[in-house]
Chain A
Amino acid sequence: MSISSSANERQHTEVKQTQGIRSTSPITLSEWSINGLALIRIFVGYLWFQQLFWKLPPDFAGLYPYIVRESLHTIIPGYGFILQHTFLLSCTNMQAAVGCTLYVPLAAGVWSAELIVAISLMFGLFTRAGALLGSLLAIQLYVGLAYTEWIWTYVMLVLLCLALTAIPAGRRLGFDQWFAPGLQTAAKNHRVARFVSWFA
């Protein structure tokens, strides 16, 4: 079975084939390969899932020391300033979130985003959207924490999530297998469906 990454790509390939212009051979993934990628997707989702538990609501206390570290050791000038005036606004203590005004709502946003990535990847639910969000979160972690840990730690996470953004790994062992055909059919007539179908 051929797993094409989107309806557009498939149409593009068909057009090329009918014109007899075949510059490169189309890439076809076997069932074993796509199921293997689906397993990798589940484990990457589980990686994000496990990281929810050391910063649980309602106070998200586990996240606080990392935000402080990011504000002190970021690799991008100015990023620490942004953190100090958002997450760490009015905070009076380096060890615990004391006196902070915006920390809890912003930390809730981070936690929710990580939960969305975990659910999306584990259940293959709009997998590429989840992987894209995961890539952004991992890039943010790299920017903030790269100097404080092994330099490749977060690069690997970024690369894993980018790989899952490129490949529709949710179309096996996931809900995208159910949703993708309907979305691709609708994509022929609706621009929004075409956009959404890329994420499944």
Chain B
Amino acid sequence: MAHVRRGLMAGLLAGLLLAMLNFVTDSTPGRTLPDALRWFGISIADPTASRFAGFFLLIVLGGIVGIIFGFVQGERFISIGRSLLSGLLLGLIWWLIFSLLLTNIMNHASPLSLQFGMFLVTFPIDLLFGMVLGSIYFQLQGQPVVAQA
């Protein structure tokens, strides 16, 4: 279960980073945080509460995704290359599910419709989330135990 715990911790921390990045937005701080609520059809009238709820939802979602990441990696020690690339793949899946499909569905648009500006806003940040998750997971592993002959 250690690998799942590592995944959870890595996911929570990467989710926290994602939420913090969404907080330091141009014009109004945290302007994009309620988007996370809209993925699940949730809306809160109070803008401040809505932003805080979005902030915590991103952390929780990060934790859930991290658990899945740890579960997929299993108990073996994984290299830095594998953890970073797996993280990128996870970020890609996150982008496909949340930033593309759910955002479009909730906006009553075609599920796969994509504009360049929207792609540029979301895609690198979601990949970054995945890469950071993979990197933290690698660091939490510590050094591999070498079997003695």
Contact = CB atoms under 8 A, between A and B. Distances in A.
B interface: dominant SS: helix
A172 to B, nearest CB: 7
Contact of B121 (A53, A122, A174): A53
Contacts of B128: 42, 122-123
A interface: dominant SS: helix
A31 B139 contact: yes
Given A56-B117, A122-B124, A50 B135 contact: no
A46 B24 contact: yes
A42 B26 CA distance: 16
B85 to A, nearest CB: 9
Contacts of B125: 46, 49
B131 A123 contact: yes
A178 B136 CA distance: 13
B74 interface: no
Nearest to A181: B80
A49 B135 CA distance: 21
Given A42-B17, A43-B24, A172-B139, A52 B131 contact: no
Nearest to B85: A178
A52 B84 contact: no
A79 interface: no
Interface residues of A, number: 22
B48 interface: no
A178 B117 CA distance: 31
Interface centre among B24, B26, B84, B136 (most CB of A within 10 A): B84
Interface string B1-38: 00000000000000001000100111000000000000
A143 B67 CA distance: 49
B135 A39 contact: no
Interface of B: 17, 21, 24-26, 80-81, 84, 116-117, 120-121, 124-125, 127-128, 131-132, 135-136, 139
Interface of A: 31, 35, 39, 42-43, 46, 49-50, 52-54, 56, 118-119, 122-123, 172-175, 177-178
